[in-house]
Amino acid sequence: MTDMQAAVKAALKAQAVETPSWAYGNSGTRFKVFARPGVPRTPWEKLDDAAKVHEYTGAAPTVALHIPWDRVDDYAALAAYAEERGLRLGTINSNTFQDDDYRLGSVCHPDARVRRKAVDHLLACVDIMEATGSRDLKLWFADGTNYPGQDDVRERQDRLSDALREVYDRLGDGRRMLLEYKFFEPAFYTTDVPDWGTAYAHCLKLGPRAQVVVDTGHHAPGTNIEFIVATLLREGRLGGFDFNSRFYADDDLMVGAADPFQLFRIMYEVVRGGALPSDVAFMLDQCHNIEAKIPAIIRSVMNVQEATAKALLVDREALTTAQRAGDVLGANAVLMDAYNTDVRPLLAELREESGLDPDPVAAYHRSGWARKTAEERVGGEQAGWGA
């Protein structure tokens, strides 16, 4: 094994991908949710499924919760349950978008009563973090307006700023606030946190523990996401990723499915930025509407690993030499050589060295978990996107 291969393997072994609790439940479009047999009915059962993903990949040790979708009476008990299954509870995601009160927004709403309600929810999430031992609070706001003149867009920024300040000041020691942006949807005219610049400006004012989250599905088509990643890393403000892929808008498809080359370019900037390993959270934010959920999540984790392996294989020395010499084609060829490397044998070898099956999807299918859960999880209501 060359030094390079050993270094690549060590970096890959250390990489962890956080899976989202909501990806294990049923989801769909606004037209139809297709129920699948065996889908979890509770946050506890979601953790049982997440444990399978970790068992076969060895790379998905934490699970993000969404509150109140994953509401339980005792979060410390949920954390203990996760630990018994070799998992930890990860990022706490707030939800200020599924209540009638939020028709005109949450923390940016024109009515102070609604803003108070939204901030109280965020503070409740801060308390949950203490019970679960979660490091990160992830905030995404559906706030915005649909029509010119509907509200004062500048004043909405002031309201947002006040809310973020109150929550930031309540974070426990070592906790972080991750602010996620999205260019449109559900609002169609203005969105209150539409882009990385707005998120970054708020984070900068708040302090070093406020960081930006890049959801790969939250940009206008053609946006150069890897440039945003490079910039945020350079500024020390990249908190993490919500990985998924898209063909049109916020499609929430499996990461690496629509554009594996983009994922590679992003991961190259992560490697180049010295962020592997680092505090950057590598999370999935996906919904599996028509495909089986657990194998899709396993596949997603593998796609992140493949893109990372290729990024790690870039011959940085040769690249720098070509870049400094102004060798446009040579530099591009160095990057493409790494991208075009088949890293599947390397990853299979790595898994075997870690005592895992080299083919996690096949191993999962052989396990009989899908049949077992379809038989056992009867009665009650399946968890869905939003419950």
Interaction site with Mn ion (CB under 5 A): 215, 242, 250, 285
How near is the Cβ of 34 to ligand LRH at its closest, in Å? 18
Candidate list 140, 282, 364, 369; residue touching ligand LRH; CB under 6 A: 140
How near is the Cβ of 282 to ligand LRH at its closest, in Å? 14
Candidate list 18, 136, 250, 269; residue touching ligand LRH; CB under 6 A: 250
Please identify, using beta-carbon distances, which residue of 134 and 373 lies nearer to Mn ion. 134
Backbone angles phi, psi at 195, to 5 degrees: -150, 170
Backbone angles phi, psi at 198, to 5 degrees: -65, -45
Please identify, using beta-carbon distances, which residue of 159 and 182 lies nearer to ligand LRH. 182
Q: Does 285 bind ligand LRH (CB under 6 A)?
A: yes
Alpha-carbon span 35 to 65, nearest angstrom: 21
How near is the Cβ of 96 to ligand LRH at its closest, in Å? 10
How near is the Cβ of 200 to ligand LRH at its closest, in Å? 17
Q: Does 182 bind ligand LRH (CB under 6 A)?
A: yes
Candidate list 18, 45, 180, 357; residue touching ligand LRH; CB under 6 A: 180
User: Which amino acid is it at 264?
Assistant: F
In sequence order, the 6+-apart residues with CB closer than 8 A to the CB of 107 are 96, 115, 118, 119, 122, 141, 143, 159, 160, 163, 164
Alpha-carbon span 146 to 30, nearest angstrom: 19
Please identify, using beta-carbon distances, which residue of 55 and 242 lies nearer to ligand LRH. 242
| Per rule CB under 6 A, count of chain residues that contact ligand LRH | 9
How near is the Cβ of 140 to ligand LRH at its closest, in Å? 4
Q: Does 242 bind ligand LRH (CB under 6 A)?
A: yes
List of E strands, the chain:
19-20, 62-66, 88-93, 136-140, 144-145, 176-180, 190-191, 210-215, 238-243, 281-284
Q: Which of Mn ion, ligand LRH, none is residue 93 near (CB under 5 to 8 Å by kind)?
A: ligand LRH
Alpha-carbon span 57 to 73, nearest angstrom: 30
| Side-chain-facing half-sphere of 363: CA atoms under 13 Å | 18
Alpha-carbon span 159 to 225, nearest angstrom: 28
Q: Which of Mn ion, ligand LRH, none is residue 226 near (CB under 5 to 8 Å by kind)?
A: none
Q: Does 195 bind ligand LRH (CB under 6 A)?
A: no
Q: Does 282 bind ligand LRH (CB under 6 A)?
A: no
Indicate the length of the chain as a whole number. 387
Q: 270 burial class (0-12, 13-18, 19+ CB within 10 angstroms)?
A: buried
Q: Does 21 bind ligand LRH (CB under 6 A)?
A: no
How near is the Cβ of 212 to ligand LRH at its closest, in Å? 13
Candidate list 49, 136, 143, 215; residue touching ligand LRH; CB under 6 A: 215
Please identify, using beta-carbon distances, which residue of 44 and 183 lies nearer to Mn ion. 183
Candidate list 93, 106, 134, 382; residue touching ligand LRH; CB under 6 A: 93
DSSP 213-240: EEETTSS-TT--HHHHHHHHHHTT-EEE
In sequence order, the 6+-apart residues with CB closer than 8 A to the CB of 113 are none
Please identify, using beta-carbon distances, which residue of 140 and 264 lies nearer to ligand LRH. 140
Please identify, using beta-carbon distances, which residue of 81 and 241 lies nearer to ligand LRH. 241
How near is the Cβ of 202 to ligand LRH at its closest, in Å? 16
Tokens of 139: 């905030």
Please identify, using beta-carbon distances, which residue of 140 and 200 lies nearer to ligand LRH. 140
Q: In 3D, which of 153, 158, 155, 121 has the Cα closest to residue 140?
A: 121
Secondary structure of residue 100 in the 3-state scheme: helix
327-386 positions binding ligand LRH, by CB under 6 A: none
Q: Which residues contact ligand LRH (rule: CB under 6 A)?
A: 22, 93, 140, 180, 182, 215, 242, 250, 285
